[in-house]
Structure 1
Amino acid sequence: MNGITFALAVAGVLLVVLGWSTVVQPLVGAVLIVLAVVLRPRFASLPDNEPVLQRADAPRLFALIDEVAAAVGTTGVHAVVIGPDANASVTLVGIRQRRVLYLDLGLREILSPPQRLALLGHELGHYANGDLRRAKNVGSALRSLALWCYMLAPEPSPTFLERFANLLLAPPRWAARGLLALLDGLTMRTSQREYLADRAAARIASSETAVELLDLLLVTDAVDIELRRESVLAQTGIGGRSRRDAWDGLWERLAAHVGSVPEREYERLRRVSALRGHSVDSTHPPTHARRQCVSEGEPRPALMTLDDDTSAAIATELAAARKRVAQQVIRDFAG
């Protein structure tokens, strides 16, 4: 589809430059150029509504990331984005395809230091093992196809002329949807690389810690619910909590809430996971299968540990981001 977009642009320019003997050709060319601009390949970019840390902002955190990256056979990242959700991921942004780690506090703050190391090992393992969906060409093609499908979508309640347009655009719409489904299916096999990323987590922080991290993924829905509850309590004033300072201690309360979940609940969630095929999202294999792969493999000792001084230094570097994201949770999550 990127090639088609380029062809539209070339055709548009040719019609504008060479078609001045008529009035129609330049107009059609201008339409094609505008269409090519709208459908141009887009690269992911850094968010503007969440804290973005550069190396100068958090040298100890980036040094730890570099150390973990070297241990799993890759290099570090250019930026770290701090968000509110119970998730973590890596991606590539911009034309230069700079590496970015998304480190959401809803997940990080419920982890112990060894589990945080395992999380870094897992995410950086995606770079080491290669993930086609994060590659420049494939990722751009997926985004372009999704945009084509959006632009070609039929009008829901069409007029007579819109019905004609819907009919006229049906072939390219079906083609775009088919190509998107095909490319999505062909790259879905890369989800199996989650197992390799889990092994990287086990290599960094031990097999036992990697299993603990996978167990905690089973309670991420509860994390979201708890953050929403905190937001509602603050905005309604229930329980005497003031909206003005409700962000203070939010992450500590969240960690205590998750820490109070008894082992029998985790056992229940593991059984439910095996029965229903729980996964983090549609691009991940079932969590119980990932857990089984790590736990039944050869036990690995921890390659790295996180000492108290490093943990304290990183906490200091993240303090401003933790406050800002906590305030965002209190302000926005109730909606």
Structure 2
Amino acid sequence: MPGGYSKKLALRLDAQQYAAYEGTPPTRPEWTAARAALIALSAALVAMVAGLAVLGGWLTLRDFPSFSILAGVPVLLVAWALRPRLNPEREAWHEIRRDNAPTLFALLDRIASAADAPMPHRVALDPEFNASAEICGLRRRRTMTIGLSMFGVIAPRQRVELLSHEFGHFVNGDPARGLLTQPALRTPLILADLMRPAGSIGTEGPLMQITSLLMRPFQLLLVRLFWLMALGVRAVAARDHQRAEYCADALAVRLAGTDAVVAGMVDSAVTERLVAAIAAAERGTQSNPETARRNHPGAARWREAADAVRATLNMDEELDKSVTEDASLWNSHPPSGLRARIAQSWPHTDPSVVLSDTDSAEIDAELHRFYARAGRDIAWSAA
């Protein structure tokens, strides 16, 4: 799809979705044709894989042992490669526990109770300017990941907003976290990977080399077709993902207040500038080995650098710019400008969960050694 047309279509779809929620906060993403199509495609793909498994088993075991095993085993291998996969539980940069961060977990408890949401099974930390909530594995374990470079530079009210938004993903029916939509989202990428030609054909015999060369154009064509299919599925899913984001924002407004959500969207619109400022501040810290090793300032210098960037911003201008620049058929998040504007269109709300400056400082103290460790990653990754 030409870039100009896809951008115009994304802007039109963004505007339609904005109009659907303007003035009235959503509570939970409704069932849509897109979600029904994803589930139907997933069902068809699972049925196809099951059929391949049955066919492969029949060919392998029929009159065993027989020559039909030469067809049966490859079919079984294809079925195994295409088997439905659950979102795996990834290794965390650091998993933090209640006993070494009691104030942070007390805040999580308060937000979970106010949101009527389950607590995560794992709370993880990483150095990123981001936060995420995932449901992983067959046991559907919930993981919340807090990016320290983001969490360290936001005000207490925005910390409540950030965590409230992530809790929203545990209760709002986001298809990205749904069991029934995973095959549709993952299988085309698996097929593209299976069809990808080998990187080198220099070690085979002459006949295999000729065969590989003849097959290569067809493989490349199939790879592109499956990638296009994956992009199409992602575009269909993106609208539902974005609805889920608006629902999570609505919960954040209810718990943290309108002003905190708008401030968070401004930060989101200028993420690259904030990350660059934080990295520059951390490189200054790392340039003094004694400070970096023994007297790391934690997030204090990051916050000063981020506040210096914020002081130069025209908030309305940045939000308006993001409406156009962040519009995409494949983005899982609506543009930050639209998210801020729609929050402002809802009835203005004061926070119902308040994090005091004292408790916020106590959380920083609990996370201090992780800020220091993350600082090294931040400085190196931006070098």
Relative to the length of structure 1, the TM-score reads 0.83
Q: Is the 8 A contact 1:247 1:323 kept in 2?
A: no
Question: What is the aligned partner in structure 2 of residue 6 from structure 1?
Answer: 50
The answer to whether 1:89 aligns with 2:138 is no
The answer to whether 1:249 aligns with 2:297 is yes
The answer to whether 1:260 aligns with 2:260 is no
* Alignment partners' CA distance in 1, 2:121 and 2:59: 43
- Segments of structure 2 that go 5 or more residues without pairing to the other structure are 1-44, 202-208
**Structure 1's 115 and 233: CA in aligned 2 closer, same or farther, altered over 3 A?**
closer
Q: What CA deviation, in whole Å up to 9, does each residue of 1:47-92 have, x standing for no partner?
A: 3360022445544433322321232232221111211111111111
Relative to the length of structure 2, the TM-score reads 0.74
Question: What is the aligned partner in structure 2 of residue 99 from structure 1?
Answer: 142
The answer to whether 1:180 aligns with 2:240 is no
**Structure 1's 74 and 302: CA in aligned 2 closer, same or farther, altered over 3 A?**
same
**Structure 1's 89 and 164: CA in aligned 2 closer, same or farther, altered over 3 A?**
same
Q: Which amino acid letter does the alignment assign opposite residue 191 of structure 2?
A: W
The answer to whether 1:143 aligns with 2:186 is yes
Partner SS for 1:99: strand
The answer to whether 1:15 aligns with 2:63 is no
Q: Which amino acid letter does the alignment assign opposite residue 251 of structure 1?
A: A
* Alignment partners' CA distance in 1, 2:336 and 2:62: 59
* Alignment partners' CA distance in 2, 1:231 and 1:160: 55
Question: What is the aligned partner in structure 2 of residue 211 from structure 1?
Answer: 262
**Structure 1's 75 and 14: CA in aligned 2 closer, same or farther, altered over 3 A?**
same
Residue 139 of structure 1: CA displacement? 2.9
* Alignment partners' CA distance in 2, 1:112 and 1:55: 22
* Alignment partners' CA distance in 2, 1:246 and 1:10: 62
Question: What is the aligned partner in structure 2 of residue 328 from structure 1?
Answer: 377
Q: Which amino acid letter does the alignment assign opposite residue 67 of structure 1?
A: R
- How high is the sequence identity, in percent, across the aligned residues? 24
**Structure 1's 246 and 309: CA in aligned 2 closer, same or farther, altered over 3 A?**
closer
Q: Is the 8 A contact 1:247 1:326 kept in 2?
A: no
The answer to whether 1:294 aligns with 2:343 is yes
Q: Is the 8 A contact 2:238 2:331 kept in 1?
A: no
- Segments of structure 1 that go 5 or more residues without pairing to the other structure are none
Question: What is the aligned partner in structure 2 of residue 222 from structure 1?
Answer: 273
* Alignment partners' CA distance in 2, 1:140 and 1:250: 42
Question: What is the aligned partner in structure 1 of residue 28 from structure 2?
Answer: none
Q: Is the 8 A contact 2:258 2:350 kept in 1?
A: yes
Residue 293 of structure 1: CA displacement? 0.7
How many residues are aligned here?
A: 329
Q: Which amino acid letter does the alignment assign opposite residue 299 of structure 2?
A: W
Higher relative contact order at CA 8 Å, sep ≥6: structure 1 or structure 2?
2
Q: Is the 8 A contact 2:246 2:339 kept in 1?
A: yes
Residue 221 of structure 1: CA displacement? 0.6
* Alignment partners' CA distance in 1, 2:235 and 2:327: 20
Question: What is the aligned partner in structure 2 of residue 189 from structure 1?
Answer: 239
**Structure 1's 32 and 111: CA in aligned 2 closer, same or farther, altered over 3 A?**
same
**Structure 1's 163 and 73: CA in aligned 2 closer, same or farther, altered over 3 A?**
farther
Question: What is the aligned partner in structure 1 of residue 17 from structure 2?
Answer: none
